[in-house]
């Protein structure tokens, strides 16, 4: 009698293990079936054939990722998947190509604005938050003074691709004392690289062919400016670059041909 009881318990344990181990297998099989079924649908083969749509199923929850040509394709893909056997829920993360392009453009603009602020010592890039949406830059964070806040806006506006700047930065109640920069410790090669990058990054100087040489922090500029205002702007931008101790602007002003 005792042996029979032990046998039944052992058999039940084996059955339980088999059932437990087979459950994930069945779930996996269902998920694979969902993914393959989606690719066989008329919608996938007809309307979504030129799109980059990926359906990943996990325990009946399907996540859609990739890009589609237009907004209606996002809905088509979701409704098709939702109707497949075994699907519990659909997480639609699809984006249109236009949305991706806009997001990439905004991300690129944000990086350029942040980089430009890092180059300049009279703004505080470390306390400035840059957000971009449809080419509109929103600045948040804290400025040491109203002048610093205004200068941050000025630099952000001059970045290629920026349509508008909304400066929501707060101004510190107690102005922070100006910090001594370790400009003299920055090597000349790094200063030259920063100056060149800054001039390329700013919209107003991006098209200029300016030669830059640095010696002990002193920057010498040569090249051609369209007018005196453009030449002065270059001097102003370069003078505010990290590590620059002095600027010698030897750029020539383009002669205007008269009839």
Higher-pLDDT residue of 25 and 126 is: 126
In a domain, 16, yes or no: yes
* Pair (208, 245) in one structural domain: yes
Q: Which of 50, 75, 93 is the last residue of a domain?
A: 93
- Please give the tally of structural domains in the chain: 3
What average pLDDT does the segment 30-36 reach? 91
**In the predicted model, what is the mean pLDDT of residues 153-170?**
94
Check pLDDT > 90 for residue 21.
Answer: no
Domain annotation covers residue 210:
yes
Q: Over range 241-252, report the average pLDDT.
A: 93
Helix (H, G, I), strand (E, B) or coil at 207: coil
Lowest mean pLDDT across 120-124, 226-230, 233-237, 252-256: 252-256
Of 55, 75, 93, the last residue of a domain is 93
The model's pLDDT over 73-113, given as tens digits with 9 standing for 90+, comes to: 988 899 888 989 999 999 999 998 888 888 899 999 999 99
pLDDT value, residue 47: 86
Please say which residue of 171, 194, 219 terminates a domain. 171
Q: Which domain holds residue 69?
A: 2-93
Q: Which CATH number goes with the domain that contains 132? A: 3.30.1340
Supply the DSSP string of 21-38, one letter for each residue: HHHHHHHHHHHHHHHHHH
Answer for the pair 146, 195: CB distance below 8 angstroms, yes or no. Answer: no
pLDDT of 185 reads: 61
Whether the predicted pLDDT of 16 surpasses 60 = no
Per-residue confidence (pLDDT) for residue 25, from 0 to 100: 53
Query: pLDDT of 217-245, one tens digit each?
Result: 999 999 999 889 999 999 999 999 989 99
Residue 47 main-chain phi, psi, to 5 deg = -90, -30
Does pLDDT of 255 surpass 80? no
Segments of 74-183 assigned E as strands: 89-92, 95-96, 128-133, 136-143, 164-167, 170-171
């Amino acid at each position: 009698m005792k042996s029979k009881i032990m046998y039944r318990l052992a058999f039940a344990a084996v059955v339980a293990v088999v059932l437990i181990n087979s459950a994930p297998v069945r779930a996996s099989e269902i998920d694979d079936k969902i993914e393959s079924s989606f690719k066989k649908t008329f919608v996938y083969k007809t309307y979504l054939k030129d799109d980059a749509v990926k359906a990943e199923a996990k325990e009946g929850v399907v996540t859609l990722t990739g890009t589609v040509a237009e907004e209606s394709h996002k809905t088509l893909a979701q409704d098709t998947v939702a109707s497949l056997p075994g699907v519990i829920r659909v997480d639609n993360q699809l984006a249109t190509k236009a949305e991706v392009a806009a997001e990439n453009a905004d991300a690129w603009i944000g990086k350029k604005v942040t980089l430009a602020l890092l180059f300049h010592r009279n703004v505080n890039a470390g306390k400035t938050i840059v957000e971009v949406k449809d080419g509109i830059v929103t600045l948040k964070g804290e400025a040491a003074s109203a002048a610093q806040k205004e200068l941050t806006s000025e630099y952000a506006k001059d970045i290629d691709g920026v349509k508008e700047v909304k400066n929501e930065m707060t101004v510190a109640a107690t102005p922070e004392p100006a910090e001594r920069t370790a400009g003299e410790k920055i090597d000349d090669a790094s200063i030259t690289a920063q100056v060149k990058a800054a001039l390329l990054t700013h919209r107003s100087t991006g098209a200029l062919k300016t030669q830059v040489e640095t010696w002990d922090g002193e920057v010498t500029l040569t090249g051609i400016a369209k007018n005196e205002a453009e030449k002065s702007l270059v001097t102003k931008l370069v003078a505010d670059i990290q590590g620059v101790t002095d600027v010698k602007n030897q750029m020539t002003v383009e002669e205007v041909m008269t009839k």
